[in-house]
């Protein structure tokens, strides 16, 4: 029997959006003044054009951020469930990280030489993730770039494979979309002069037949993938998908490169350890140093040996891997403090409990109003999606996105002191988040639904 879902009233949605925009403008005079000043010297009026992608009529300017809270220049304090889109997944300015940064700041920032912290961090990463050898970068974008370069160098293959709808930072190779089953360079990409589809293949997530077809000629250096897709909305793997995918990679000589930058929400060792994956290469960025720019990438023992051999056999000169500030003293000190004292088993247990509370609360609101929506969760990460059945691949996830509805919900929540990510409907909890904070978010979400659902 077909379920008869309730729908949202377009007139009510328009009225709520107009009211909330007016409320924001009236409440944020200082941010408005700064936005006007910024327009003279900042492209799009912000230091990074993504900062203009939020739902506000003009950018919210931050005065400070601490723990689970953000305070703006107009004196409003927000419960932060965006947390820098994972960059501050363990809270803003964790005390151990702040102390480590203050101490290291007087002892050197960067010298392009190793420190004791690097030895400790690499050993800890090996313990957590099961890969014995590590290198560093300033961002996950860089780490993915470098890992792809290593994969190509040690396999001798030019091709890489990604899943449709993926995101792995600003890596040129990954901006490929499937259009009618054919790979195309993403049409939003600026300044691209090389045909990426000549060296990048793309298939749908959870499609094992397509994955095998893409790997079968043995020319793919690596499969670069998040174990759970997150950037286009969360897409979970089918039961048994990763066991089969790993076996296919091994069969056809393709290295498995896992990007845990968002799925680190799965646990202290990421989705990799939580679900027994065995990647050849692994990347983690954003929150690993407590919010300070830093990323890491690890190698299995065999992959590391092959990579070292490839480097030794190459002619002398720049490898195209690494930047001057990579593994600087400040970042290494921050990472050690974060791994040792912040990113702990106890922190994850607290976060998992709150994320479960959030997912349950949102699900109850959706069920109570009989909406064709669902809730997806992976560890400390929760998302509500505009579909009754969770998507299985990037095409399905893209089809259910509703930017106008998202912006309406996000602005409504922001005006009530609640921040969620500006990209789809992702929410994170951190060690400083409380059960009362979660209840407040669920209550505001329920209020929005009650205002806009058809009678």
pLDDT, tens only, 265-298: 999 999 999 999 999 999 999 999 999 999 999 9
End-to-end CA distance of the chain: 23
pLDDT for 195-241, tens place per residue?
999 999 999 999 999 999 999 999 999 999 999 999 999 999 999 99
Q: Which two tokens stand for residue 40?
A: 């003279």
Residues 181 and 352: beta-carbon distance below 8 Å? no
Beta-strand runs (E) in 236-373: 255-259, 281-284, 295-299
Residues 220 and 160: beta-carbon distance below 8 Å? yes
Phi, psi of 133 (to 5 degrees): -125, 140
For residue 2, what pLDDT is reported?
A: 65
For residue 446, what pLDDT is reported?
A: 98
For residue 423, what pLDDT is reported?
A: 85
pLDDT for 60-94, tens place per residue?
999 999 999 999 999 999 999 999 999 999 999 99
CB neighbourhood size of 209 (10 A): 9
Q: Which residues of the chain have pLDDT under 50?
A: none
Taking the alpha carbons of 37, 18, 426, 164 in that order, is the dihedral positive or negative? Answer: negative
Residue 124 region by backbone torsions, left for phi larger than 0, else alpha for psi between -120 and 50, else beta: alpha
CA–CA gap between residue 342 and residue 354 (Å, rounded):
17
């Amino acid at each position: 029997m077909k379920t008869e879902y309730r729908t949202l009233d377009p007139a009510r949605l328009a009225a709520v959006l107009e009211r909330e925009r007016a409320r924001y403008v009236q409440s944020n005079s200082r941010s408005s003044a700064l936005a006007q000043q910024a327009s003279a010297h900042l492209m799009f009026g912000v230091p990074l054009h993504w900062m203009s992608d939020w739902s506000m009529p003009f950018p919210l300017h931050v005065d400070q951020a601490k723990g689970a809270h953000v305070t703006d220049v107009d004196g409003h304090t927000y419960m932060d469930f965006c947390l820098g889109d994972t960059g501050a997944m363990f809270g803003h300015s964790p005390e151990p990280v702040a102390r480590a940064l203050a101490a290291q700041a007087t002892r050197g920032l960067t010298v392009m030489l190793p420190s004791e912290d690097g030895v400790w961090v690499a050993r800890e990463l090996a313990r957590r993730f099961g890969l014995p050898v590590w290198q560093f970068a300033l961002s996950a974008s860089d780490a993915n770039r470098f890992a792809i370069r290593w994969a190509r160098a040690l396999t001798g293959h030019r091709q890489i494979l990604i899943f449709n709808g993926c995101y792995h930072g600003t890596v040129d190779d990954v901006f490929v979309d499937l259009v009618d089953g054919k790979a195309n360079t993403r049409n939003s990409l600026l300044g691209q002069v090389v045909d990426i589809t000549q060296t990048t293949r793309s298939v749908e997530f959870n499609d094992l037949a397509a994955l095998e077809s893409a790997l079968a000629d043995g020319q793919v250096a690596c499969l670069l993938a998040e174990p759970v897709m997150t950037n286009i909305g969360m897409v979970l793997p089918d039961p048994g998908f990763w066991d089969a995918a790993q076996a296919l990679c091994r069969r056809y000589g393709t290295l498995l490169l896992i990007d845990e930058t968002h799925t680190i929400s799965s646990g202290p060792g990421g989705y990799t350890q939580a679900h027994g994956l065995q990647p050849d290469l692994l990347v983690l960025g954003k929150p690993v140093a407590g919010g300070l720019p830093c990323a890491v990438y690890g190698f299995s023992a065999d992959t590391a040996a092959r990579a070292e051999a490839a480097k030794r056999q190459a002619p002398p000169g720049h490898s195209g891997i690494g930047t001057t500030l990579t593994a600087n003293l400040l970042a290494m000190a921050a990472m050690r403090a974060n791994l040792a004292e912040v990113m702990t088993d106890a922190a994850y247990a607290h976060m998992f409990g709150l994320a479960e509370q959030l997912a349950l609360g949102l699900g109850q609101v959706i069920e109570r109003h009989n909406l064709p929506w669902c809730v997806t969760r992976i560890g400390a990460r929760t998302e509500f999606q505009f579909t009754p059945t969770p998507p299985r691949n990037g095409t399905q996830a893209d089809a259910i996105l509703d930017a106008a509805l998202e912006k309406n919900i996000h602005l409504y929540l922001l005006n009530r002191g609640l921040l969620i990510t500006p990209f789809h409907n992702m929410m994170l909890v951190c060690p400083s988040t409380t059960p009362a904070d979660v209840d407040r978010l669920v209550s505001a979400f329920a209020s929005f639904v009650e205002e806009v659902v058809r009678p």
